[in-house]
Amino acid sequence: MNKQQLQKLRGEYSKNSLDESRVDRNPIKQFEKWMFEALESGVPEPNAMILATVDANHKPKARVVLLKEVDDGSFIFYTNYSSDKGKELQQNPNASLCFMWLELERQVRIEGVTEKIPKSVSEEYFKQRPYQSQLGALASNQSEVVEGREVLEDRFDELEKKYNEGEVPMPDTWGGYRLIPEAIEFWQGRRSRLHDRVKYELQNGNWTIKRLSP
């Protein structure tokens, strides 16, 4: 692929519009409305989101994780606390999330501060995960170097034999985070690149709403 091929990639967005005078005054409710519409529209993996963190050398890192709950105004996801992202959030709890629902020509960007959720809540969710997903979390030391896939598969097989009749214990290093938002931006694609951008910002405990230039 050459640069001309990339430069010619272009789409015209015209499915919806977004008016700052018509959005819900609460960005969490506005997010839930859009998430519901993504679910109803059959968007693949609508809860997939890019999680961006910053490491100890101030270098940004990004990867896709899954949103598992919106609770009490915060966005909850689960991971291994000893993974790269876990270590980065330990050093710097500031993070951002980004959802992209291309089928609806929509994007949501969320900025805020993360914190670990109570272990009891993580354990409750862990028990609801599929059996093999539980084993996978126990078998993998996320982000650590592994000599080959066979090492992981052998470890998985060992655990499957060990816990074939019992409850799989949640790893000590596994659990959830909540991101408490300080700013949320809703982006709706429009014609001629004049996209609609509506941003909520938390100021003195209240959400302000403004339109941004595309």
Positions marked active-site: 193
* Contact residues for 206 (Cβ-Cβ < 8 A; gap 6+): none
Which residue type does 141 have?
A: N
Q: How deeply is 91 buried, as exposed, middle or buried, from its count of CB atoms within 10 A (0-12, 13-18, 19+)?
A: exposed
CB 210 within 8 A of CB 197: no
Burial class (CB in 10 A: 0-12, 13-18, 19+), 167: exposed
Please report, to the nearest 10 degrees, the dihedral formed by the alpha carbons of residues 203, 186, 52, 123 taken in order.
Answer: 80
Measured between its terminal Cα atoms, the distance across the chain in Å is 28
Q: Name all contacts of 34-40 with Cβ < 8 Å and 24+ positions apart.
A: 34/101, 34/104, 34/106, 34/108, 34/186, 35/70, 37/104, 38/101, 38/103, 38/104, 38/106
**Residue 79: exposure state from Cβ atoms within 10 A (0-12, 13-18, ≥19):** buried
